[in-house]
Amino acid sequence: GAGVSQSPSNKVTEKGKDVELRCDPISGHTALYWYRQSLGQGLEFLIYFQGNSAPDKSGLPSDRFSAERTGGSVSTLTIQRTQQEDSAVYLCASSPEQGRGNQPQHFGDGTRLSIL
Amino acid sequence: AQKVTQAQTEISVVEKEDVTLDCVYETRDTTYYLFWYKQPPSGELVFLIRRNSFDEQNEISGRYSWNFQKSTSSFNFTITASQVVDSAVYFCGGQNFVFGPGTRLSVLP
């Protein structure tokens, strides 16, 4: 299908290591979002990309977290020096954005990150 | 800042019962959009509905219906004649990437 694709689906790593999570949005969608969902919890906004505009990084919890979006398409979320509290499901979504979050978001299956 | 409240953490019903999930949205914006998403046990969030704050008409889609009241900023979701497949976590969301904590619905056979 042509949905949002995230990889890897699962990632287990040791505390202190860096990890990269990838998101491939739906073709033509200009907006891309990253969220974090801890076990049994709601969605925590991390970062928002819209076209060529500067990303909204207001949700990133610390400077260990960063994200890029190359060519207006694929995005990579990087977590440096991982901590156990980073364990969560990281969700990516995209939408044909015309405003800040006013369009339905299409979500990927997520990456389940486990920090040992 | 916007805030979405879903006061019901978990709800259990028996199949064929009707159930209403509550959502309250706080914002200073005069116009805004609200959403409902479903997250089944498989994990992928699925969009259900988007509502513009200008439109207070109820909306019905099959067994699902939504009631938006701007005066109380409530956007409630009713499932009629619930089925086991409706078991999921339901999230209400607003603009600016704000989501409620979700309501876990369990429909028992």
Percentage of chain B lying above the pLDDT 70 cut: 100
CATH number at residue B18: 2.60.40.10
pLDDT for A100 equals: 74
Domains in chain A: boundaries: 5-115
- CB-side exposure of B25: number of CA atoms within 13 Å? 30
Instruction: Give the model confidence (pLDDT) of B18-74 as tens digits.
Output: 999 999 999 888 888 999 999 999 888 999 999 888 887 788 889 999 999 888 889
Q: What is the residue range of B30's domain?
A: 3-108
Q: CA nearest A94: which of A43, A48, A41?
A: A48
Flag if A109 and B44 touch (Cβ within 8 Å).
yes
pLDDT for A98 equals: 66
pLDDT for A47 equals: 96
Flag if B46 and A107 touch (Cβ within 8 Å).
yes
CB of B54 within 8 Å of any CB in chain A?
no
On chain B, the residues whose CB falls within 8 A of the CB of A104 are: 35, 47, 50
Count of the separate structural domains present in chain B? 1
Task: Quote the strand ranges of A5-74, DSSP E.
Answer: 5-7, 10-13, 19-24, 31-37, 44-50, 65-69
CATH architecture of A5-115: Sandwich (2.60)
Buried b (16+ CB within 10 A) or exposed e, A80-109: eebeeebbbbbbbbbbebeeebbbbbbbbb
Note down pLDDT in tens along chain A; length 116 residues.
589 999 999 999 999 999 999 999 999 899 999 999 998 788 999 999 998 889 999 999 999 999 999 887 999 999 999 999 999 999 999 998 766 778 899 999 999 999 99
pLDDT for A4 equals: 96
Flag if B44 and A107 touch (Cβ within 8 Å).
yes
Flag if B91 and A109 touch (Cβ within 8 Å).
no
Q: How far is A40 from chain B, CA to nearest CA, in Å? A: 9
Q: How far is B102 from chain A, CA to nearest CA, in Å? A: 6
